[in-house]
Amino acid sequence: MRNFALVELGGLLFINLAPEPLPLEDQFPPGFIALLKSSAEAYDTEVIMTTWHAKFNWKLIYENLRDFNHIKYLHAKSLVKIANFPFGAADVDVAEAPLQDCSPAALRREMRTFSYGGPEGKIDPVKREPWMNMVERWGDTDAYFNWLAYPNLHIACGNGGYSFAIENHVPVSPGKTDVELFFMTARKRKSYAFSPQVLLAHMHYGKKILSEDIGMLEAVQAGLHIDAPVPTQGAYESTNRQIERWYTTLMETDHEI
C-alpha cells in the first residue's frame, strides 16, 4: 500500500499521495493554516459546485491572484463595489538577486511565503441579506477575505464570514486549466427551504467575477508565442517575481524540495 498523508482542516481535506508526502506545515505557514482551519470549521455541508474549462496555463491564474492591484482594474464594476481594496507594492524587489540558499529546507521556507490569508478589502458595512440570519457567521470582521494556497488553491469570503468560495485550479495541458468552483454558506443554524437558491445565487455572482478573470487570462494565453515581447513587471508583482525565481531554480537546475 502506498504511503499517503491526509490532513483535515475543518471542512477541507488535504491529501498527498507522494511516496514521501510533504508535511502540510512545510508547505504553508502556521498563521495561514490556523486561519484557514478556523474558517473551514465554519463551512456548511451543503455545497454547490461546477467546473469551468478554461483556455490558459494554470500558472497564469495564480500570478493574477497575487497581483492584488488587478482588482481595481479588472473588477472595477463588480468586486470594487463591495469592498475597499487598497493599492500596494513592495518597497524592495528581493527577486532581483538569485536565491542564496538552495537547500531543500531553504526552498521549502521560500515556498511558504507564497501562501497567505486574511482580510484584504474592508467592507463598510456588510450588506445584510435575509439568508444571513439563517447561518452562524464566522468571526465578526467586515472584510473581504482571501486565502491563497500556493500553487493552485484559492479560497475567498466576500461578506465577512457568511459564505465561502473555493477555487481549485487543475492543470489539464499547457494551454488548458479546469477551474473547479465550490460555494457554501457558513454553517446553518437550522435547515431552511431556500438554501439551494442561496447557493445558486452565489454561483451566478461567482460566474460574473470569474468571467472577468478568465476572459483576461485566455486573452493573455492566446497572445503568447515564441517572439512575444517579454512583459514589464512592476514592484506590485514582487511576489510573482519571487515565485518565478523559486520555480526556475527548482525546475531548471538540480534542486529539489
How far is Cα 153 from Cα 175, in angstroms, rounded to an integer? Answer: 18
For residue 224, give the amino acid letter.
Answer: L
Q: Which helix (H) or strand (E) holds 54?
A: strand 48-54
Query: Closest approach of Cβ 117 to Fe ion, in Å?
Result: 16
Q: Select from 44, 63, 110, 213 the one that contacts Fe ion (CB under 5 A).
A: 213
**Position closest to Fe ion via CB:** 213
Query: Closest approach of Cβ 80 to Fe ion, in Å?
Result: 11
How far is Cα 113 from Cα 125, in angstroms, rounded to an integer? Answer: 31
Regarding 63 and contact with Fe ion (CB under 5 A), the answer is: no
Q: Which stretch binds Fe ion (CB under 5 A): 52-60, 100-108, 116-124, 209-217?
A: 209-217
Q: How many residues bind Fe ion (CB under 5 A)?
A: 1
Query: Closest approach of Cβ 114 to Fe ion, in Å?
Result: 17
Of 87 and 96, the one with the shorter C-beta distance to Fe ion is: 87
Of 57 and 195, the one with the shorter C-beta distance to Fe ion is: 57
How far is Cα 31 from Cα 52, in angstroms, rounded to an integer? Answer: 31
**8 A C-beta contact, residue 108 and residue 28:** no
How far is Cα 179 from Cα 166, in angstroms, rounded to an integer? Answer: 10
Query: Closest approach of Cβ 229 to Fe ion, in Å?
Result: 24
> Please, where are the H alpha helices in the chain?
24-27, 30-40, 58-65, 70-74, 104-112, 195-222, 238-252
Q: Which stretch binds Fe ion (CB under 5 A): 27-35, 37-45, 205-213, 247-255?
A: 205-213
Query: Closest approach of Cβ 216 to Fe ion, in Å?
Result: 8
Of 167 and 213, the one with the shorter C-beta distance to Fe ion is: 213
Residue with cell 504511503: 3
CA distances from 112 to 20, 25, 32, 68, 81 (A): 18, 9, 9, 18, 32
Of 14 and 236, the one with the shorter C-beta distance to Fe ion is: 236
Of 132 and 165, the one with the shorter C-beta distance to Fe ion is: 165
Residues of this chain that bind Fe ion (CB under 5 A):
213
